[in-house]
Amino acid sequence: MGAGHAHNLYRAGDSPVHRLPPHCKLVAVVLFVLAVVATPRERFWAFGVYALLLAAVAAVGRVPLGYVLRRVVVEIPFVVFAFALPFLATGPKTEFLGLTVSHSGLLGAWNILAKGTLGVVASILLAATTPLRDLLLGMERLRMPQLLVQIMQFMLRYADVITGEMGRMRVARESRGFRARDVRQLPVVAKSAGALFIRSYERGERVHLAMLSRGYTGTMPVLLDVRASRAQWGAAALLPSAAALACAVAWFAGG
């Protein structure tokens, strides 16, 4: 379970975006998202600017549009909520596509759709151009507590193992004729969850023993030191500073 984790989130490549140090990209994405969230929702053009910025990053990083679109589906529950908003919110009514809907609800729906989608796309681009392991190293460089980074490393490394174990338990259940049809089958699902917990926990104990026997003292050795040059920070700052500029203009100059 060491190597060869082909996480389909990451798209291997060698573009300027791929080459940037992970912590620079993390900071850039978080600042970008904050700028987007802080933008007044009536300034429609600003969101166009943000979308263009992300499109530019995707183009430089050679992330195909179709890939991004396929992964945007995580957003769907909130899109449903956003579409309900114009009918739920109160306040002055307005005509939109032949329907009478709440004006502020319409704006609210737009707000969630625009900001939510921009945030999702920014995260997708980050994960598509940075290997997960490197992102964790980046978090460590950003002074995230060591213990937390270690926990995340373990989670990432074993998520596939545990998910695979769960998949095998499902196959075993179903090959014995089990099908979850309604609430009455819940105890079976819960017993599987219980068994999965015990297996995960015991695996954790074995992993810990294996680590101890290899000389673990509570910290992990740093094998790859990622440093960022001034130029790399500068390149990474392009996205959030452009977004911050758009945000500032949106606040002070109006639309």
Q: Taking CB under 8 A as the criterion, which residues in 134-153 touch other proteins?
A: 135, 145, 147-148, 150-153
Distance (Å, whole) CA 136 – CA 76: 28
> Does 154 sit near other proteins (CB under 8 A)?
yes
Contact with other proteins (CB under 8 A) among 85, 235, 239, 246: 85
Tokens (6 digits) for 69: 């679109």
Q: Which of 2, 92, 187, 215 binds other proteins (CB under 8 A)?
A: 187
Which position among 89, 142, 226, 237 is part of the footprint of other proteins (CB under 8 A)? 89
Strand partners, 95: 100
The H-assigned helical ranges of the chain are 16-19, 22-38, 44-60, 65-71, 76-88, 103-129, 132-141, 146-175, 186-213, 230-252
Please state the closest distance from residue 140 (CB atom) to other proteins, in A.
13
| Torsion angle in degrees (nearest 10) through CA of 54, 56, 61, 63 | 70
Stretch that binds other proteins, among 11-19, 54-62, 204-212, 229-237 (CB under 8 A): 204-212
The residue from 132, 226, 237, 249 that contacts other proteins (CB under 8 A) is: 132
The binder of other proteins chosen from 5, 15, 38, 178 (CB under 8 A): 38
- Contact with other proteins (CB under 8 A) among 51, 55, 60, 207: 207
3-state secondary structure of 14: coil
Using CA atoms, how far apart are residues 221 and 60, in angstroms rounded to an integer?
A: 34
CA pair distance 244, 114, nearest whole angstrom? 17
Closest distance of CB 180 from other proteins, Å: 6
Which residues lie across from 100 on neighbouring strands? Answer: 95
181 binds other proteins (CB under 8 A): yes
Residue 218 binds other proteins (CB under 8 A) = yes
